[in-house]
Structure 1
Amino acid sequence: MIETLRNAWKIPDIRKKIIFTLLMLLVIRLGSNIPVPYIDKEVVSQIFEVGQGSALQFLDMMAGGTISNFSIFALNIYPYITASIIMQLLTIAIPRLEEIAKEGEEGKKKINKYTRYGSVILAAVQAIGITMGFFNNALIAQGTLQTAIVIISLVAGTSFLVWLGDLITERGVGNGTSLIIFIGIVSGLPSTIARFIQLISVGAISIIKLIIFAIVAVIIIAIVVALQEGQRKIPVQYAKRVVGRKMYGGQSSHIPLKVLMAGVIPVIFSTSLLSFPQMISLFFTGGTAEWITKYLTVQGNVGVWIYSIINTVLIIFFTYFYTAIQFNTVEYSKNLQQYGGFIPGIRPGRPTSDYLNKVISRITFVGGISLALIASLPIILSRVFNLNIDFGGTAIIIVVGVALETIKQIESQMLMRNYKGFLK
């Protein structure tokens, strides 16, 4: 792997992309420590001390500690992800948006523009909620103008992250949005490890329980890698055809159908939607916030089960949804027939499309169920063993999945230059 990294580093354009990506991630981490004006940091710290183990801790972990710092990136990139989900659903529901989406690159640009507008609106709503709601006591702004500056700073921070994500995707390596979430989660890992070492040293947590959880985490990593790499190969035979004096076709090939075509997108989408009740709980105080925390978040005795069930359903739904967007069986079967290809034992055209649908439905179900179970299992185990671990299955899946996705992109770019890469 070290030799492969050296080879990648020797390629000028890949080296520039890696350096650019690292610099952008550094900018994100620096921005995560720029405070929003007119906010009392001592009051924010007190709120977090009182709310240990609450929904606030989970949101802060997923945001990379930006909420506890109340930095300009406190909302992270989740408003944009939520807006993307809404826009993709609207694209299916509204014919006009579907037509725009099919217009190629120009249509894609229009959809992205609408998504950005939606993310600004959602960011504004969330900014008003956390500023005037849960963190109202920390607000030291005097007058409407200063309060508006706080809200605008949060919205601008999210917009800046969206812009950086697009830059990373375009000029760097990996998916920019996924990498922003990745760096946010990973940045909180050292402090989480230090906290558990401290708790073990004072006897607050049993080391046996922690070891069991660590073993589960390793198993989850292995399963995620297996799901990402697993695929079903559908054999394809191409008929011989004569064009002029040359004969084409006659060779055998296969269609590689991945078990998890959607990657970690379903988990990111599900986490984004399920963070809404937790974010709403920050808008209120007293009985309403307690009810939301108890029944709709992982911190509640009842909520942990409701959260896990909804999380499972959403992950399975988005796995099917995103797979359907990525792989159109009707178009694929038409293209296969056009080039003289066919699946042995299956008639070309509609029967081929139906067969591919059947296969994809089965492997997607396995992938979706597996993804949902390993996302929910650590949450349930942490409640059973009373470990209060925020870095659960969802975070592990995102970190491992994004790392694999980024490595594969570097691998594909290296293979184009005849270098031996990371994955064999």
Structure 2
Amino acid sequence: MAQAKGNALGKFGKLTELRQRIFFVIGALLVFRLGSFIPVPGVNPDAMTNLVNGNGLMDMFNMFSGGALARFSVFALGVVPYISASIVIQMMGSVIPSLQALRKEGESGKRRMTMYTRIGTVGLALFQSFGIAVALQKQVATGGAPVVYTPGFGFVLASVVGLTAGTMFLMWLGEQMTERGIGNGISLLIFAGIVAGLPGAVVHTLGMSSNGELSVLMLLIVFAVVLGVTAFCVFMERAQRRITVNYARRSGGQRAYQNQSSNLPLKINMSGVIPPIFASSLLMFPATAVSWFGAGHQARWLQDLSQALNPGEPLWAIVYSVLVIGFAFFYTAIVFNAEETADNLKRSGALIPGIRPGRATAGYIDGVMTRLTGVGALYLVLVCLVPSFMQKFWHVPFYFGGTSLLIVVVVVMDFTAQVQAHLVSHQYESLLKKANLRRN
């Protein structure tokens, strides 16, 4: 019994690194949640909450920041400037020759690209914080109370410094989580912000059921739809199209190596959650513009456009679907280069059966990727439209929208995969140690 206990403690001790990484991630997420309650001085909290709720673009950013924007805390901008800068640098890296060369320089080029991303993050954070601070000074709450107590240069300066510093701290915290923890730190911060509102949404939904606003049957249907959509997202995110690749026969000395066969995996959803985020941001601009610039006769056309682009409306569904499909093809073309993949296969002596190496291989891969992107784009449209239609027609408090649900699923899958990779690496280390002991 003592020996079994010792073996168990030994196995537990081998997971010290994994345990430390998980504890570091938990501690960083706690810091993120505590910081989201530190307000920037000079803002009326009740008026700010009323302004953000139901404000379209601001409501989405508030969800990503875990409610920090509604409280106007130092983390109100969240990691949105960092994500925007990363996407811009990534797009420029596919167009500008100098940045293309940096991407091929390995670790040194990666560090330079990271530096450019940080500089872009600072610039975007300064611009966004200044715009928000100036616009908030003109806002008035529903009861007539101003959102900002004492407008002026002091409030703008405090807001710009506080919000920019908060964004830079979150960027640093996310990078530390990636290096010392498990998973992508920036993605985990967004995940924490989205999940932070889940308990309140569950309590609100159960309260509606107990008050009779939501029947028990409708509650079960909502629960079943949530599980079904989540399972469908997991299935589609794992789905791949594997292209068979054969390596030419090689001979070395007196040995002859036979043909080896492998697979080139291509994901159905290569663009991830970028298309829904871009599409949602563009469609929310009219509603946000109406709330910020007021409602008058001159802005009547803007009000009509905002009403037509409300979630669940026919025009919104059509425009949203077109934008998601367009962004899916656009972003996939940026992150995946069929010609570069074909050149890499040719250099390694690999070929696709029945396809000539070089340009013919690039054309074949591009055709396969185009069909996969079409299926992936339709999948994104379906996942994003179902929650919106439930909210519109059934008046269901469906908390997880399409974008947030995709983010949660992708982050959880990535985190689980990295934990499993750590566990497998520890198993290999133990096997190697046992083999060395037996040889000795």
TM-score bracket, shorter-length normalisation: 0.7 to 0.9
Residue in structure 2 matched with residue 422 of structure 1 by the alignment: none
Which residue in 2 is equivalent to 1:193?
Answer: 202
Where does residue 13 of structure 1 map in the other structure? Answer: 17
Distance in 2, Cα, partners of 1:217 & 1:17: 31
Q: Distance in 1 between matches of 2:35 and 2:227?
A: 32
Alpha-carbon distance in structure 2 between the residues aligned to 1:242 and 1:357: 32
Partner Cα separation in structure 2 for residue 307 and residue 72 of structure 1: 33
Q: Of 74, 77, 95, which aligns to 1:75? A: 77
- Cα pair 2:57 2:281 within 8 Å, conserved: no
> Runs ≥4 in structure 1, deviation > 6 angstroms?
6-9, 288-291
Q: How does 1:41-190 map to 2 (within 5 A)?
A: 41-47=45-51, 51=53, 56-134=58-136, 136=139, 137-141=146-150, 143-190=152-199
Which runs of 5 or more residues in structure 1 are unaligned? Answer: 1-5, 420-424
Aligned alpha-carbon RMSD (Å): 3.1
- 1:224-373 equivalence runs, <5 A: 224-271=233-280, 280=289, 283-287=292-296, 295-296=305-306, 301=310, 304-373=313-382
> Structure 1 residues 111 and 179, CA, compared in 2 at 3 Å: closer, same or farther?
same
Whole-Å separation in 1 of the counterparts to 2:102 and 2:198: 42
TM value normalised by structure 2:
0.82
Match of 2:44 in 1: 40
Specify the SS of the correspondent of 2:251.
Answer: strand
Alignment partners' CA distance in 1, 2:425 and 2:331: 28
Q: Does 1:24 align with 2:18?
A: no
CA contact (8 A) 1:9 1:15 kept: no
Between 1:164-173 and 1:310-319, the stretch displaced more is 310-319
Question: What is the rounded CA distance, in whole Å, between the counterparts of 1:77 and 1:297 in structure 2?
Answer: 29
Inter-CA distance 315–233: structure 2 relative to 1 (3 Å threshold): same
In the superposition, relative to structure 1, how do residues 334 and 197 fare at CA in structure 2: closer, same or farther (>3 Å)? same
Q: Which moved more, 1:163-172 or 1:320-329?
A: 320-329
Q: Is the 8 A contact 1:239 1:340 kept in 2?
A: yes
- What is the CA deviation profile of residues 3-61 of structure 1, one whole-angstrom value per residue up to 9, with x for unaligned ones? xxx9798422222222222211111111111111222224334546xx55865544422
What secondary structure does 1:247 align onto? Answer: strand
Distance in 2, matches of 1:17 and 1:274, equals 39
Check the 8 A contact 2:312/2:392 in 1, yes or no.
no
SS state of the match for residue 66, structure 2? coil
The AA in structure 1 aligned to 2:149 is: I
> Percent identity of the aligned residues?
39
Q: How many angstroms apart in 1 are the aligned matches of 2:353 and 2:35?
A: 56
Equivalent residues of 1:242, 1:248 under 8 A apart: yes
Residue type of the partner of 1:180?
L
Q: What is the CA-CA distance between 1:249 and the residue it aligns to?
A: 4.1
Q: Which has the higher contact order (CA 8 A, sep 6+)?
A: 1
Deviations 1:127-161 (A, max 9, x none): 23333324642222464234311221112111211
Instruction: Decide which structure has the larger Cα Rg and report it.
Output: 2
Q: Report if the CA contact (8 A) 1:379-1:392 is conserved.
A: yes
Note the C-alpha offset of 1:254.
Answer: 1.9
Q: Deviations over 1:311-367 (max 9, x none)?
A: 434433443344444443323323323333222222222222221111121112211
Structure 1 residue 189: Cα displacement:
0.4
TM-score (norm 1): 0.85
State the 1:407 CA deviation: 1.0
Per the alignment, do residues 72 and 294 of structure 1 end up closer, same or farther by CA in structure 2, a change over 3 Å counting? farther
The structure-2 alpha-carbon separation of the partners of 1:73 and 1:11, relative to structure 1 and needing over 3 Å to count, comes to: same
User: CA 1:97 to 1:249, structure 2 compared with 1: closer, same or farther past 3 Å?
Assistant: same
